[in-house]
With several copies, the nearest count.
Chain A
Amino acid sequence: MSRDIKGWSREEMARKVAEDIPGGSYVNLGIGMPELVANHIPEGREVIFHTENGLLGVGPSPVTGAEDDELINAGKKPVTAIKGASYFHHADSFAMVRGGHIDICVLGAFQVSEKGDLANWSTGTPGAIPAVGGAMDLVEGVKTIFVMTNHTTRGGESKIVPECTYPLTGKGVVSRIYTNMAVIDITENGLMVRETAPGADREYLESITDAPLTFPSK
Chain B
Amino acid sequence: MIDKIANSASEAISAVFDGATVMISGFGEAGSPVELIHALIDHGARDLTVVSNNTGNGHVGLAALIENRQVKKMICSFPRTADSVVFPELYCRGEIELELVPQGTLAERIRAGGAGIPAFYTPTSVNTPLAEGKELREFGGRSYILEYGLKADFALVKCRAADRYGNLLYNKTARNFGPVMCMAAECAIVQAEEIVGAGSIDPEAVVTPGIFVSRVVHIADPASENRLLKEGRRYP
Contacts and interface: CB of A to CB of B under 8 A. Distances in A.
A93 interface: yes
A84 interface: yes
B80 interface: yes
B226 A131 contact: no
A69 B128 contact: no
B165 interface: yes
A90 B165 contact: no
B10 interface: no
Given A69-B29, A95-B114, A76 B81 contact: yes
A184 to B, nearest CB: 22
B122 interface: yes
B199 interface: yes
Interface residues of B, number: 74
Interface in B163-204: 163-165, 167, 170-180, 183, 198-199, 201, 203-204
5 contacts: A54-B175, A71-B172, A99-B183, A129-B92, A136-B102
Ranked nearest first, the 7 interchain pairs of A and B with the lowest CB-CB distance are A83-B199, A137-B104, A94-B104, A98-B116, A86-B206, A84-B198, A95-B115
A147 B229 CA distance: 34
Given A72-B30, A131-B78, A87 B128 contact: no
A88 interface: yes
A42 to B, nearest CB: 13
A50 B210 CA distance: 11
B41 interface: no
A48 B167 CA distance: 13
Contacts, number: 212
Contacts of A97: 104, 116
Interface stretch (A9-17, A167-175, A188-196): A167-175
Contacts of B87: 129
Interface in B120-162: 122-130
A30 interface: no
Interface in B43-97: 53, 77-82, 87-88, 91-92
Contact of A87 (B163, B203, B211, B225): B203
A96 interface: yes
B14 interface: no
Contact of A141 (B124, B164, B165, B209): B124
Interface of B: 1-2, 27-31, 53, 77-82, 87-88, 91-92, 98, 100-108, 110-111, 113-117, 122-130, 163-165, 167, 170-180, 183, 198-199, 201, 203-204, 206-207, 209-212, 224-226
Contacts of B53: 90
Nearest to A138: B104
Given A81-B172, A89-B175, 4 more contacts: A68-B172, A94-B115, A97-B104, A171-B128
A51 interface: yes
B124 A137 contact: yes
Contacts of A167: 128-129
A132 B211 contact: no
Contacts of B117: 98
A157 interface: no
Nearest to A139: B124
B30 A69 contact: yes
Interface in A10-66: 23-24, 26, 46, 48, 50-57
A169 B128 contact: yes
